[in-house]
A and B are shown apart, each in its own frame.
Chain A
């Protein structure tokens, strides 16, 4: 089944403890992206990747890192999480970059709580 898989679905951690949220897609998509969703603020892009080894900042990249060493994986790294990073995170992928009008496919989300 074609899908975007995020893990874990739920995560509770403490301030400063490094964590990684994994994202994998099995559709051979070039474009991958991370979003966070907060009440009243909607979906905001954190980072995106046009292809392997090509990543760029979105609207809210501070406090996050990403890497794209393989086409299928796009992990989100929080080196030193803080409470303001408590949010619902979504990974998404599309066949090509957004400008080619290629719809995004979303994972089921990771609900992160930082205490």
Chain B
């Protein structure tokens, strides 16, 4: 079955530093979502990528989907304490070469930002 692997599992950075989180799939990614979760709370939608090579930005967060549509990265520039939380990638699962209605998630990356 398709799985989404996120790396790193956890990350501690100093305020102001840049960082990158990766999401890798063994199959083609049809619709890749990035969410942020504060501990014990609901997930907040950040961005969605569909096309190979696509890149989107929101404030200081940039997400990219590679040309092969098997890996996505989330880059935070000049990190702030407000960026701390768990970042999850989600994607439509693939079956028989096509997308399904099921959204699967990676296990998340825990980000801590030290002031």
Interface residues of A (CB under 8 A from B): 4, 33, 35, 40-43, 45, 48, 50, 58-59, 88, 90, 92, 97-99, 101, 103-109, 111
Q: Which residues of B contact A107 (CB under 8 A)?
A: 42
Q: Which of B11-19, B60-68, B101-109 lies on the face that meets chain A? A: B101-109
Q: How many residues of B contact A (CB 8 A)?
A: 24
Q: How many A-B residue pairs have CB under 8 A?
A: 61
Known: A42-B88, A106-B42, A109-B41. A98 touches B102 (CB 8 A): yes
Residues from 90 to 106 in B contacting A, C-beta threshold 8 Å: 90, 92, 99-106
Q: Could you tell me if A43 and B102 are in contact, using CB atoms closer than 8 angstroms?
A: no
Known: A88-B40, A101-B31, A108-B41. A41 touches B107 (CB 8 A): yes
Q: Could you tell me if A103 and B88 are in contact, using CB atoms closer than 8 angstroms?
A: no
